[in-house]
């Protein structure tokens, strides 16, 4: 069995056993703590598959758990990746399509509102289709730089060839999968925070 099938099977096991009694973040940490055989790359890939599954919301109820996980990865990917290339090469070659084009590829009757079918429960004026599409996009990693550390932080990121966008004098946005812990000292140089904070 390939490692990608192993990732998929492990993700399905985790999702099947998860009953929602605690936040998923804590649950999956406990799973990996109890199953030490997974390295950091394995944990990251399996976690990503699980979160992609959750991002599909109420859509795709007719698919098996395995297919829902892979469909979630497809919908959340903006470019091809190794796991998708191995499990569903056709989907992988179409990873750059728009969300609506991907939904049609999965099922000609599938529309984005099926991911979040509670439009009438939302505030008036909310662009529910854009709101729903946002579920399928992993947000950036936001760093608040400690006062006086701005130049030092930016220099370290540039020296490590890590791309970032300055959103303000004290806030940077980076790709969410950036490993900053090897470059920056969290809580001393930067604090990881949601942008709205």
H/E/C letters for each residue in 35-65? CCCCCHHHHHHHHHHHHHHHHCCCCCCCCCH
Q: What is the DSSP letter of 156?
A: H
- Is the pLDDT assigned to residue 6 strictly greater than 90? yes
Q: Is the dihedral of CA 164, 170, 176, 180 positive or negative?
A: positive
Q: According to DSSP H, which parts of 97-149 are helical?
A: 99-106, 128-134
Q: Which residues pair with 143 in a beta bridge?
A: 172, 192
pLDDT of 120 above 70: yes
Query: Can you list the domains of the chain with their CATH numbers?
Result: 3-134 (no CATH), 141-192 (3.30.70)
Does the pLDDT at position 30 exceed 90? yes
Which tens digit of pLDDT belongs to each residue from 41-77? 899 899 999 999 988 887 788 888 999 999 999 988 8
Q: Residues 12, 69: contact at Cβ < 8 Å? A: yes
pLDDT > 90: percent of the chain = 41
Do residues 80 and 93 lie in contact, with contact meaning Cβ atoms separated by under 8 Å? yes
Scored b (16 or more CB within 10 A) or e, 153-177 reads beebbeeeebebeeeeebbbbbeee
Three-state DSSP string of 58-73: CCCCCCCHHHHHHHHH
162-183 pLDDT tens trace = 888 898 889 988 887 677 888 8
Cα 136 to its chain centre, rounded Å, is 8
């Amino acid at each position: 069995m390939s490692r990608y099938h192993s990732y998929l099977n492990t993700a399905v096991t985790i999702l099947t056993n998860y009953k929602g009694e605690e936040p998923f973040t804590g649950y999956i940490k406990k799973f990996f703590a109890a199953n030490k055989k997974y390295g950091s790359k394995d944990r990251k890939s399996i976690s990503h598959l699980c979160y992609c599954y959750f991002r599909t919301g109420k859509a795709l109820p007719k698919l098996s758990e395995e297919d829902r996980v892979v469909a979630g990865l497809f919908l959340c990917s903006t470019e091809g990746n190794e796991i998708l290339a191995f499990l569903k090469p056709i989907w992988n070659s179409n990873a750059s399509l728009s969300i609506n084009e991907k939904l049609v590829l999965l099922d000609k009757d599938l529309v984005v509102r099926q991911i979040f079918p509670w439009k009438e429960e939302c505030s008036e004026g909310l662009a529910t289709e854009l709101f729903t599409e946002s579920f399928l996009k992993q947000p950036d990693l936001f760093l608040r730089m400690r006062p006086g550390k701005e130049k030092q932080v930016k220099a370290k990121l540039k020296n490590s060839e890590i791309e970032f966008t300055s959103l303000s004098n004290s806030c940077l946005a980076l790709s969410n999968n950036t490993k900053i812990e090897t470059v920056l000292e969290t809580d001393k140089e930067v604090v990881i925070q949601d942008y709205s904070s």
